[in-house]
Amino acid sequence: MTVSATHTVGDLESSAKNRNVVLDIRNLKVYYATPTGNVRAVDDVSFQVYESEIIGLVGESGCGKTTTAMAILRLVQPPGRITGGQILLDGTDLASLHGQALRDVRWNQMALIPQGAMNSLNPVMKINRQIADAIEAHEGRQPAKELKERIINLLATVGLPSRVYGMYPHELSGGMKQRACIAMAIALHPSLVIADEPTSALDVVVQRVVGETLLDVKERLGVSMIVIGHDMGLMAQLVDRLAVMYAGRMVEIAPVETVFHEPLHPYTQLLIESIPSIKQRKPLKLTEGLTHDLRNPPPGCIFQLRCPHVTDICREVNPPLRELRSRHFVACHLYE
């Protein structure tokens, strides 16, 4: 997998200009109501996803990346609630859809690849039935023969043998299950696929296979993807742009090369530095436990408590996300 290595910043820039925006998220807010106040899981997040682009969404556990994804899919579970903002997918505001209109958009235009864990497939239903379920929910009853052919083709697209068609989830390995989920996700040619930690709970070899499958699917079908994950190695291989979240806010968005070579936000810098190297042993810098209470964020920058470069203005004014260089967005006072 050398795809990302062949990208140069210039390439991306020129192609980005011609690209259409598939998903446009504007000032998204998702709050979880608790007895002691709202937890601001996603606070004023804006970003775009372009046509046939893979954007990576990274950040530590609890930073709001999965909540962002669930908000796009309109699957935020109570007590969580989308309290503000717009989610424009191909021009339609998902945040305002309900009932049948919402069900029509689901899977037709946006699909989910769940975490690579055991439970994302219904254990008592054969794989073919679960894929057929998605197809028939949107296209009505299908002739049995064509449906079977279509599902076997989908399985072949992700490199699964046709015998998987009649198997139950427990008869598949973790990697096969994950690829079955990818096959299901592309069944209706959605314009956006959200992959929520698609390779967690898989071993490295299988991670690579799943990563390659995702990349292959993107190249062939031209879908846009949001890939959520912790795995910076996978991100470096897979995504075009990387969006870094911290405590419910977007702190940096840039082409993946740029993030790795010139991270601007102090949090991103710490995140990149903390990637364990297999070549040398170095102390881990990022420490846990210094985050603020998400119900009651301090005035100013959300990273002030952990930031090594904190100044007075950081404690007073919240830095907006600005395009500091071409296609490189950062929310930090250091660069003013």
Partner 1 sequence: MGGLTPKYVLRRVGMWLLTIWLGATIIFVIPRLAPGDPVAAMVSRLTAQSGYVENSAQMIEAWRARFGLDGPWYVQYYNYLRSVLTLDLGFSLASFPSRVDEMIAQALPWTLGLLTIAVIISFFVGNLVGALMAWRRTPGWIRAFLPATLTFTSIPFFMLGILLIYLFAFGLRWFPPSGAYGRGLEIGFNWPFIKSVIYYGTLPAISIVVTSMGFWALGMRGMMITNDGEDYMILAEAKGLAPQRVFWSYGVRNSILPQVTALALSLGGIAGGSTLVEYIFAYPGMGYLLYLGIVNTDYTLIQGIVFILIAGTSTAVLLLDLLYPLIDPRITYSKG
- Contacting residues toward partner 1, per CB under 8 A: 73, 75, 78, 102-108, 111-112, 114-115, 117, 119-125, 133-134, 137-138, 168, 170-171, 181, 184
What lies within 8 Å, CB to CB, of 225 at 6+ separation is 53, 54, 55, 192, 193, 194, 195, 214, 218
Report the C-alpha gap between 144 and 234 in whole angstroms.
39
Q: Which is nearer to partner 1, 99 or 283 (CB)?
A: 99
Distances in Å between the alpha carbon of 98 and those of 73, 165, 304?
A: 12, 33, 39
Cα 196 → chain centroid: 6
Q: Which is nearer to partner 1, 92 or 122 (CB)?
A: 122
Nearest CA to 193 out of 272, 107, 266, 274 is that of: 107
Least distance to partner 1 from the beta carbon of 261, Å? 36
Q: Which is nearer to partner 1, 104 or 323 (CB)?
A: 104
User: Which residue matches tokens 């993946």?
Assistant: 256
Q: Which is nearer to partner 1, 170 or 309 (CB)?
A: 170
Least distance to partner 1 from the beta carbon of 319, Å? 34
Q: Which is nearer to partner 1, 160 or 253 (CB)?
A: 160
Distances in Å between the alpha carbon of 43 and those of 64, 67, 145?
A: 9, 11, 48
Least distance to partner 1 from the beta carbon of 121, Å? 6
Least distance to partner 1 from the beta carbon of 11, Å? 33
Least distance to partner 1 from the beta carbon of 134, Å? 4
Report the C-alpha gap between 296 and 127 in whole angstroms.
45
What is the amino acid identity at position 65? K
Q: And the tokens for 275?
A: 């990637």
Least distance to partner 1 from the beta carbon of 101, Å? 10
User: Which residue matches tokens 């989830």?
Assistant: 169
Q: Terminal CA-to-CA distance of the chain, rounded, Å?
A: 38
Q: Which is nearer to partner 1, 174 or 298 (CB)?
A: 174
Report the C-alpha gap between 250 and 25 in whole angstroms.
12
